[in-house]
Structure 1
Amino acid sequence: MPADLSPSDKAKFLAAKRAVDYVKDGMRVGLGTGSTAAWMVRCLGERIREEGLKITGVPTSRRTYDLAQQVGVPVATLEETRWLDLTIDGADEYDSQLNLIKGGGGALLQEKIVATASDQMIVIADITKQVETLGAFPLPVEVIKFGWQTTKLLIEETLINMDVMGRECSLRMNVDEPYITDEGNYILDLHLRRIAKPSQLSLVLNQIPGVVENGLFIDICDVLVIGHQDGRVEVRDINNGTVENERIDILEEDNLFQDLSD
């Protein structure tokens, strides 16, 4: 592990390192998108090089595809694999029920498709992503370009009847142009501050014409792996109802990927 990692990156790295222990020979693995998921892809590349691990990865974005190629993780499309053994991905927020907000990296649509096409979803995060109630992180909603202003208006009107604290809705930008997802859509970020009923909100949002998908991941996560800055890793398994704490000791000279970019 690089000596110059920030405390936050160290926690993300530890979570990723522990999560890839779930990956076994012959598995088809969904590869998430984002800074924490990037560590996971690198750790898989390390296992492939060091252990001869044989897997097939299904990336959830072009960025993840490029990184997987760079570190030697074999990739395929979901059309080719059809179904996956597990998916490992990060989260922007998680609550005590392992409900998530995802999509800060702009890949929520492919991430949700891949996660729900898996026998198991493992989420990796650091403790700063934990919240009592979802909503502090803006909720991404992917919408088609056609009529997006009307879709935005419909979303704002719908939020009036939802149990949320804020209703501001903004178009995500990439410098001075709208951000474009891998599927060619826009993203609206909903600044809700608190989402009292995430399941209800998710269902209602997806009924609005023009909405493709939203970043609420409800009842999808099976295992949460939380990295801590002091070297501890907490593993919460919602299906077994277990919480385990471990410590991972990693030698700095063992790092094989410190020069790779996210």
Structure 2
Amino acid sequence: MTDSSSVDLSKDAAARAAVALVENGMKLGLGTGSTAKVFVDRLAERVHAEGMDLRCASTSKATADQARSLGLVVEELDDLGWLDLTIDGADEVDPDLNLIKGGGAAHLREKIVATASDRMVVIADQGKVVDCLGKFKLPVEVIPFGWQSTRVHIERALAELGLEGRPVILRERDGQPVRTDENNFILDLALEEIHDAKSLANALSAIAGVVEHGFFLNICNLAIIGRPDGSVVELRREDLE
């Protein structure tokens, strides 16, 4: 079995386990990214097989398009109100169920949807589980106006936290800045290790021009980690308390 097929099986195992958590009549948040995409596929299969009645809110235009193409009902979050459950992927998961998200440039909407839910469940493969957050670059969504000044403020904030000299990189595709669904830019912070995520999160949130950072701290209730053999491991927040 190749590495890529092992990862695919891991994602599918996590997605299927998450689909089993969905109950008829739920208002459900749909995440964004490669593992969330698998989840939406598997969810649609179950909805059609069982005739389930679900109302979904999406964390990105891409996920909304996918879900609607599969026959799922997707509505605006404001029309749905509070959600029962959000299921999403993550770029990193630490032992305390803190996350880095935003590799798909959707962490603003993902955080809004996740925090408008009774529970957030993360699905991921084993490669996303880390001892310390930071190897994956921390995404920070910023407004385009004055973004270079915002980057300077971010660099100063990093220096104050002992992270001076770490690269703050404008995310680009085909030579142009990546635009989020809100038409903003993404700055990726190459930090390697983050030992005080809460202080950094607070510092970033206080900077004018920063829309949202990719830290999801104390938001995830359950992480379902898929294994290459098709099994899963569940990490629960209540087990940490």
Which of the five TM-score ranges fits, normalised by the shorter chain?
over 0.9
Q: TM-score, normalization: structure 2?
A: 0.96
Determine the C-alpha separation between the residues in 2 that align with 1:158 and 1:148.
15
Structure 1, residues 131-150: CA drift from partner, whole Å, max 9, x if none?
A: 11100000000000100000
CA contact (8 A) 2:159 2:165 kept: no
What's 1:256 paired with? none
For residue 155 of structure 1, report the CA deviation from its aligned partner: 0.3
Closer, same or farther: CA 153–241 of 1 in aligned 2, 3 Å? closer
For residue 165 of structure 1, report the CA deviation from its aligned partner: 7.7
Closer, same or farther: CA 166–216 of 1 in aligned 2, 3 Å? farther
Determine the C-alpha separation between the residues in 2 that align with 1:112 and 1:146.
23
Secondary structure class of the residue paired with 2:238: coil
Trace 1:51-200 onto structure 2 (pairs within 5 A): 51-164=50-163, 167-200=166-199
What's 2:24 paired with? 25
Structure 1, residues 80-122: CA drift from partner, whole Å, max 9, x if none?
A: 0111001000000010000000000000000000000000000
Structure 2 gaps, min length 5: none
Question: What letter corresponds to residue 97 of structure 1 in structure 2?
Answer: D
CA contact (8 A) 2:96 2:240 kept: no
Closer, same or farther: CA 121–80 of 1 in aligned 2, 3 Å? same
Q: Does 1:223 align with 2:222?
A: yes
For residue 53 of structure 1, report the CA deviation from its aligned partner: 1.2
Determine the C-alpha separation between the residues in 1 that align with 2:79 and 2:116.
13
Determine the C-alpha separation between the residues in 2 that align with 1:18 and 1:201.
33
Question: What letter corresponds to residue 206 of structure 2 in structure 1?
Answer: Q
Structure 1, residues 163-190: CA drift from partner, whole Å, max 9, x if none?
A: 4486110100021110000001000000
Determine the C-alpha separation between the residues in 1 that align with 2:84 and 2:99.
20
Determine the C-alpha separation between the residues in 2 that align with 1:71 and 1:166.
46
Determine the C-alpha separation between the residues in 1 that align with 2:232 and 2:47.
23
For residue 6 of structure 1, report the CA deviation from its aligned partner: 1.3
CA contact (8 A) 2:155 2:164 kept: no
Structure 1, residues 15-66: CA drift from partner, whole Å, max 9, x if none?
A: 0100111110110100000000001111110011111111111010010001
CA contact (8 A) 2:166 2:190 kept: yes
Determine the C-alpha separation between the residues in 2 that align with 1:101 and 1:159.
17
Q: Report the RMSD for the aligned CA atoms in angstroms.
A: 1.3
CA contact (8 A) 2:156 2:164 kept: no
Determine the C-alpha separation between the residues in 2 that align with 1:94 and 1:163.
23
Q: Percent identity?
A: 50
Closer, same or farther: CA 123–176 of 1 in aligned 2, 3 Å? same
Q: How many residues align?
A: 238
Determine the C-alpha separation between the residues in 2 that align with 1:163 and 1:112.
27
Structure 1 gaps, min length 5: 243-262
Secondary structure class of the residue paired with 2:160: coil
